[in-house]
């Protein structure tokens, strides 16, 4: 089936069955084109909660689909490709977190949204990369334990100097690979370009950037800027998606390695199978998990909105 035909069939089935499709900005162009809403992980969680459809198909990774389910427990939530997970989300499990809490009793535990629903049940508040600084600054406690991304945590700590932020070793295997040498090489190859990077990159890289921000912040910065050339230090799809949005500008990947294999798993054919009732994974969470994890996400929306 041709891409265009598949897209037409998806649009027809969405309407017929009252299903909506949510897609993270790291998804391929042809998926973003048929999605009802797109955005970074914060935007997707807020938009999905407001959607009136009874079924939501999530094109992204598992923690994103779980977040939608926690916020909309009465809806059927399908992860379009059941094998798409975020390796960082699995780095700390509930038992380890409970043990860490026991040795750090007076710390407020801030969990990056890239964590499992199970882990969220034992954390105090969630953050996304776009809301982390605002939320950490708004918390009454000075002592913050930030999990699992130590790079994002270090970036937040630089912008929240009044807080005592403790980090646990962990991070995104894709963004973490980028080095200061890569920045040097990219700047040499594109001397006129501005460097925009995601805060999941290591401090050696974020401190060299012209702008550090979450997915949507990077896209908005590039779209609004008067500049023409940009080196993009986040997942490669953002280079492609920005090039579509701003044909008069030029976008270069910071390295060729900035590819998240999990974000690349979902295909149009997966979405079509979900709509035909013959694919995807339905997210099932027990009531207790939903209730406990929801506290963490509601607090994020309350403090980050």
Q: What are phi and psi of 144, to 5 degrees?
A: -125, 135
Residue numbers at the binding site for ligand 13P (CB under 6 A) = 40-41, 86, 114, 128-129, 172, 200, 214-215
Binds ligand SF4 (CB under 6 A): choice among 77, 88, 136, 300: 88
Q: How far is the CB of 41 from ligand 13P (least distance, A)?
A: 4
Nearer to ligand SF4, 168 or 172 (CB): 172
x/- site string to ligand SF4, residues 99 to 138, per CB under 6 A? ---------------x------------------------
x/- site string to ligand SF4, residues 166 to 185, per CB under 6 A? ------xxxx----------
Beta-strand relationship, 76-79 and 281-282:
antiparallel
Using rule CB under 6 A, residue 263 touches ligand SF4: yes
| CB-CB neighbours of 123 under 10 Å | 24
Nearer to ligand 13P, 213 or 280 (CB): 213
| Whole-number Å distance between alpha carbons of 295 and 225 | 38
Question: With contact defined as beta carbons under 8 Å apart, do 196 and 218 qualify?
Answer: yes
Nearer to ligand SF4, 57 or 172 (CB): 172
| Whole-number Å distance between alpha carbons of 215 and 199 | 10
Looking at 86-94, 100-108, 220-228, 294-302, which segment touches ligand SF4 (CB under 6 A)? 86-94
| Whole-number Å distance between alpha carbons of 215 and 149 | 16
Using rule CB under 6 A, residue 61 touches ligand SF4: yes
Nearer to ligand 13P, 40 or 66 (CB): 40
Question: With contact defined as beta carbons under 8 Å apart, do 122 and 102 qualify?
Answer: no
Q: How far is the CB of 114 from ligand 13P (least distance, A)?
A: 5
In whole angstroms, how large is the CA radius of gyration of the chain?
Answer: 19
Nearer to ligand 13P, 129 or 241 (CB): 129
CB under 5 to 8 A by kind: which of ligand SF4, ligand 13P, none does 206 bind?
none
Counts for the chain of helices (H) and strands (E), in that order: 14, 13
Binds ligand SF4 (CB under 6 A): choice among 82, 87, 279, 295: 87
Nearer to ligand SF4, 112 or 230 (CB): 112
- Cis bond leading into 148, ω under 30°? yes
Q: How many residues bind ligand SF4 (CB under 6 A)?
A: 13
| CB-CB neighbours of 94 under 10 Å | 16
Nearer to ligand 13P, 72 or 237 (CB): 237
Which residues make Cβ contacts (< 8 Å) with residue 179, sequence separation at least 6? Answer: 202, 204, 205
The Cβ-side half-sphere exposure at 132, using a 13 Å CA radius, reads 36
CA 288 → CA 73, 108, 119, 183, distances in Å? Answer: 12, 22, 13, 46
Using rule CB under 6 A, residue 264 touches ligand SF4: no
CB under 5 to 8 A by kind: which of ligand SF4, ligand 13P, none does 87 bind?
ligand SF4
| Whole-number Å distance between alpha carbons of 174 and 201 | 9
Nearer to ligand 13P, 10 or 174 (CB): 174
Q: Which residue lies nearest ligand 13P, judged by its C-beta?
A: 40
Q: Would you call 66 exposed, middle or buried from its count of C-beta atoms within 10 A (0-12, 13-18, 19+)?
A: buried
Q: What is the binding site for ligand SF4 (CB under 6 A)?
A: 61, 86-88, 114, 172-175, 235, 260, 262-263
């Amino acid at each position: 089936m041709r891409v265009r035909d598949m897209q037409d069939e998806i649009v027809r089935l969405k309407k017929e069955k009252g299903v909506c499709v949510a897609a993270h900005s790291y998804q391929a162009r042809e998926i973003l084109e048929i999605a009802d809403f797109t955005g970074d992980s914060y935007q997707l969680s807020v938009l999905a909660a407001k959607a009136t459809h009874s079924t939501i198909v999530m094109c992204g990774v598992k923690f994103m689909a779980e977040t939608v389910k926690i916020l909309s427990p009465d809806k059927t939530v399908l992860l379009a490709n059941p094998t798409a997970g975020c390796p960082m989300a699995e780095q700390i499990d509930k038992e380890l977190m409970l043990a860490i809490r026991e040795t750090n009793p007076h710390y407020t535990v801030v969990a990056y949204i890239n964590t499992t629903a199970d882990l969220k049940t034992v954390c105090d508040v969630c953050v996304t990369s776009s809301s982390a600084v605002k939320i950490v600054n708004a918390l009454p406690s000075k002592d913050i334990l930030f999990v699992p991304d130590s790079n994002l945590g270090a970036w937040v700590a630089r912008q929240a100097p009044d807080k005592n932020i403790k980090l646990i070793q962990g991070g995104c295997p894709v963004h973490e690979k980028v080095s200061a040498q890569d920045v040097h090489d990219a700047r040499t190859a594109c001397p006129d370009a501005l460097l925009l990077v995601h805060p999941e990159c290591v401090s050696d890289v974020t401190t060299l950037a012209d702008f550090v921000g979450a997915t949507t912040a990077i896209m908005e910065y590039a779209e609004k800027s008067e500049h023409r050339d940009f080196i993009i230090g986040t997942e490669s799809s953002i280079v492609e998606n920005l090039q579509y949005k701003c044909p008069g500008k030029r976008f270069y990947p910071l390295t060729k390695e900035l590819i998240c294999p999990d974000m690349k798993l979902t295909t149009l054919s997966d979405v079509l199978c979900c709509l035909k009732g013959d694919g995807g994974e339905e997210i099932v969470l027990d009531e207790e998990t939903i209730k406990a994890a929801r506290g963490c996400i509601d607090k994020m929306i309350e403090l980050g909105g």
